[in-house]
Structure 1
Amino acid sequence: MKKILKFLKCKDIDEVVSKIKSYEINEELEQFRELMTTIAKGNIGKKDLTTVKAKSELINYLRSDIGFKNTEEFKVIYLSSSNRLIGEETLFRGTIDRSVVYPRLIVERALKHPTKGIIFAHNHPSGDLKPSRKDIELTNELKDLLEVLDIRLLDHLIIGENDYFSFYDNGLIEH
């Protein structure tokens, strides 16, 4: 509901009703209808991810996909040797403040794709984007494991509603 109110630039449902009655937001309502149709079809962000050309596009996709979730989700994005998108999937879902990640499953899935690079992404429903000690330890463990298989961990992103944290940008992953 918070997203809807923000999208319609209203502070509460009464303001939405008032604007609808006065026809002040016809254009916004049409955009909203299109957005809701896209969500209902399950297509939000999916088309955009197949054509990622910049990190900002990936971040925008991830925000729309997991940034607003109220439980943790851990995604893996598979890339070719030329860093072209091969696929992405949510491998783990958890609770409000953690999810259990199984390195063996990540390796199995990576080997099913012609993967040369991987990006991990997970959300922090609390809004605190600072990586936990466990996030850092897991990232280092996975990086070492993937290197043995000649797969590069390019980044690990923690996604929030309005911002993100990049392990690579903050020096926690080196290439």
Structure 2
Amino acid sequence: MEAGDKELSEDTNHFLLYQGKPLNGIFVQTNPILLEVYETEYYKGVPHGRYTAKKEDGTVLEERNIRYGQKHGKQTSYFANGTLKQKSEFDNGIPIGEYIDYFENGQMATYQTFYDSGKPKVAKKWNRRGQIYLNQVFMESGESFGRPGSKLCDPIPDANINPK
């Protein structure tokens, strides 16, 4: 089904309907400004299955798995040039394992791990120069230890530059 189809509607619980019945199939939306196409599998009117976002030329921007409206399984996104932007994993909407976010040059930008409850266990963030500015470890109670973030110093000038 394409967005804008007159047979599509939504019920009071926000289930997607086709001809008055819960949608089973693939719902396709196109963003003409960003030149992107989004495809979402639906089952009984809710997102369930695979979600993909692509440029109109077919370049994959995001791949996500959904179980009854919740992120479930591996999630990945990519920059327009095809390099990995982010990877994570969910169990029925709860983050598990590792969440890693990258800069376009491939350097790690964010790294997180999680307790079984989905609460953060470790969080680290770097700037584009590779300097860490956040490094925390969390207890499951919420108490944290480490560097919660600070202002970084200006970079040291190149050795080739002579002050006058």
TM-score, normalised to structure 2, is 0.31
Higher-RCO chain (CA-CA 8 Å, sequence separation at least 6): 1
Q: Which protein shows a greater Rg? A: 2
TM-score, normalised to structure 1, is 0.30
Q: Which has the higher strand share?
A: 2
